[in-house]
Amino acid sequence: MKRLTALLLAPLLSATAYADINVGISLSTTGPGASLGIPERNTVRMLPAEIAGEKVNYIVLDDATDSTAAAKNARKLVGENKVDLMIGSTTVPTSSAMAQIARENGTPLIVLAPLAPQGEEKAWVFTIPQTNELMADALVEHMQAQQVKTLGFIGYSDAWGDDWYKVLGEQGPAAGIQLTSNERFNRTDASVSGQVLKVLASRPDAVLIGATGTPAALPHTELRRLGYKGAIYHTHGAANQAFLRIGGKALEGAILPVGPVVIWDKLPAEHPSKALAAEYAQNYEKVNGPNSLSPFGAYLYDAAQLLKAAAPQALAKAKPGSAEFRSALREAMENAKGVVGTHGVYNLSADDHFGHDQRGRTLVTVQDQKWVLLDSAQ
Amino acid sequence: MDFAILTFLAQDGLTTGAIYALIALAIVLVFAVTRVILVCQGDFVAFSALTLATLQAGEVPGTLWLLLGGAALVCAKDIVTAVRRRHAARIPLHLLTHLSLPLLLWALLGNLDLANLHGALKVLLTLAIVIPLGPIFYRLVYQPAAQASVLLLLILSVALHSMLVGLGLWLFGAEGFRTLPFTDSSFMLGDAMIGGQNLLVIGIALLLIVALYLFFGHSLYGKALRATAFNRNGAQLVGIPTELAGSSAFFLAALIGACSGILIGPITTLYYDSGFLISLKGFVAAIIGGLASYPLAAGGAFLVGLIESFASFWASAYKEVIVFTLVIPVLLWLSLTTHHVEEEH
């Protein structure tokens, strides 16, 4: 019901006066991206209702994980709702569609998928999630320490799998790690035995599974069922509770990089994200039930932190609802420094619209179906 | 590729092939009797696996509400017809026939200790919830348009499927589920490991196929269904109620779908929207059988399963392309060898 009211309220909110700050959010709450998009939508009600004394209105739309619908949503948000900022979308292809419209209309866009915009789009687009490079770097470092020389790869037959294979192909050989296989599967495949057998036939020291959420557990359980003994690595896309539930005992010892929010209760006290991550996680689980925390919802929360940090400067220059305000907001976000989020600390610049550093990642392993910091596990 | 890999891939292909065979048979059956291409056949599979998984987690499955809502609508429809035809005396009968099972299930699920229920009972509960959905969909969606063209029926099917996917997301959430395995046993045949679960799937699938064969070949009811499939008007003339035939076909399709879901649930992770891909593969197999021949469709299904399994080993990125390209030569062959029969006769 809560989800429904959020969607039903959206058109009402859009009719409000222009003096408020209007934020248009387009998420993939249905379709293949739903597992990531739903926790994002659940986070909307936790976003600040007021920033620097100005009321903030959030208009939430669903793009059904469809690039065409995402572009349509973005046009509607920019044209009809005259939003000051767009946030979205959940996956790389849908985000890419929104980025194009953000540039055309001069509206800043905060993306919740690891999209690396190129050319002119880069000026208007900011990306919250950690880049695959940053995460792969931590994994490759760990592999090197564990004397891994050969690595098997099995991933999605989509942009997520492609990008991880590309990143590993760049970073792996530099660290003396050879990729031995490039197998692909689909989220809803009934069986991955063929791919897993091919990976096993290449006899790798370790295997990396480039998938997200629950589908990432299927190749893992299959590898263990067929007697694979080596280490199995995952990407940060896999880090949700449903992944742990469905993988069960087979996931024991899996290694993956995560944003700090996933292990908020185990972070050292001096970690900059600890307080905010704890606040977000506890609030989220209070409403959505225990073990419902997902790193993806936290990305939206971080996007709001960035807005909160940048809005006062933009408000000093222009009124919301004007092109000047949007431009000032873009500039303020580009120069935001030391913005603390649940996923680390963001330091943005004209060259870097990601802004993450080492504080945005932690390696964890699975013990007794729970996340455990890798340092304490060894 | 050594012998162990070969046998393993063959085993994997035959297991998924067995599921596709069941789906293909249901698609051919429903098409033959009602001219409906049942796009949502795979949704029965996904819904039954998800229902069982929810029951195993000790919760009341969302499909129960779907069943209650659907049954209430069918009941309302019958009552409206009864009132219009001034058969008010039939209203209690309609209430009893349509609502007793859903309400019984509701009462059962509300009062049983689901967490400690025996596994077999959960399977039975799943079947009792999912199977009635078949006739309900027929009564609500297809029966009012029973005389319409194949194209219109197909559009209805696509609409029903989209609605079910949306409801599935709402009822079960976006995450995948896996049911508990029936057996963990496996044994060695020479160098190759044979999984007990795989044998179970293939065995039960074959059993169902034989049961269907006996039903259609040797029972009066089955023969009546076949007669309707063969010639609707003729069947009506000799006194076979074609509406009942439609309901029965959907009942059988839902039965087959629900059984497939329970069989495949422990082997793979199923999602609220897994059904579509399963339907499509079953449809490819049904096409191989020309949407008419049961043995050819079943054979085609095993072929699709094997091709899929070996393609995922050799060229995993092109697996779906390879499977779906299979349709083209088959269609070419069919269009060259059979003469076109007008659909309306």
Q: By CA distance, what is B192's nearest residue in A?
A: A226
Matching CATH topology for A2-130+283-358 and A132-258?
yes
Best probe of the B interface among A40, A181, A184, A189, by most B CBs < 10 A, is: A189
Inter-chain contact B16–A190, Cβ cutoff 8 Å?
A: yes
Pairwise CB contact (< 8 Å): A191 & B309? yes
* pLDDT for res B343: 52
Determine contact: B309 vs chain A, CB below 8 A.
yes
Residues on chain A touching B173 (C-beta within 8 angstroms): 38
**Residue from the list A35, A188, A193 with its beta carbon closest to the beta carbon of B12:** A193
Residue B104 lies in a domain: yes
CB A371 within 8 A of CB A353: no
Range A224-242 average pLDDT: 90
Instruction: Determine contact, residues B281/B300, Cβ cutoff 8 Å.
Output: no
CB-nearest to B269 from A157, A195, A218 is A218
Structural domains in chain B (count): 1
* Residue of A323 and A4 predicted with greater confidence: A323
| Number of cross-chain residue pairs from A and B with Cβ atoms under 8 Å apart | 96
Residue A363 predicted with pLDDT over 80? yes
Q: Out of B175, B178, B309, whose CB is closest to A193?
A: B309
Q: Is residue B344 part of a domain?
A: no
Nearest to A330 by CA among A348, A346, A355, A305: A348
pLDDT at A173: 92
| Predicted local distance difference test score (pLDDT) of residue A352 | 86
Name the residue facing A194 among B19, B271, B309 (closest C-beta): B309
Buried b / exposed e over A312-333, threshold 16 CB at 10 Å, is ebbbeebebbeeebbbbbbbbb
In a domain, B343, yes or no: no
A10-38 pLDDT, tens digit per residue, is 555 444 444 789 999 999 998 888 888 99
Confidence of residue B1 (pLDDT cuts 50, 70, 90): low
| Average pLDDT, integer, range B288-297 | 86
Q: Is B169 close to A242, i.e. CB distance below 8 A?
A: no
Residues of chain B neighbouring A194 (CB-CB closer than 8 A):
9, 12, 308-314, 316, 319
Structural domain that includes position B50: 3-337
- Say which residue, A8 or A301, is predicted with more confidence: A301
**Cβ separation B176–A191 shorter than 8 A:** no
**B175–A218: do the CB atoms touch at under 8 Å?**
no
pLDDT-derived band of residue B258, with 50, 70 and 90 as boundaries?
Answer: very high
CATH 3.40.50.2300 fits A2-130+283-358, yes or no: yes
pLDDT confidence bin for A6, thresholds 50/70/90: low
In degrees, rounded to 5, the angle at the alpha carbon of residue A20 between the alpha carbons of residues A14 and A21 is: 85
Cα-based distances in Å from A157 to A160, A165, A189, A247, B233? 8, 11, 11, 21, 49
List the domain boundaries for chain A: 2-130+283-358, 132-258
- B342 occurs within a structural domain: no
Residues of chain A neighbouring B1 (CB-CB closer than 8 A) = 201
CATH dotted code for A132-258 = 3.40.50.2300
Burial label for A150, CB within 10 Å (0-12, 13-18, 19+), is middle
Confidence of residue B294 (pLDDT cuts 50, 70, 90): confident
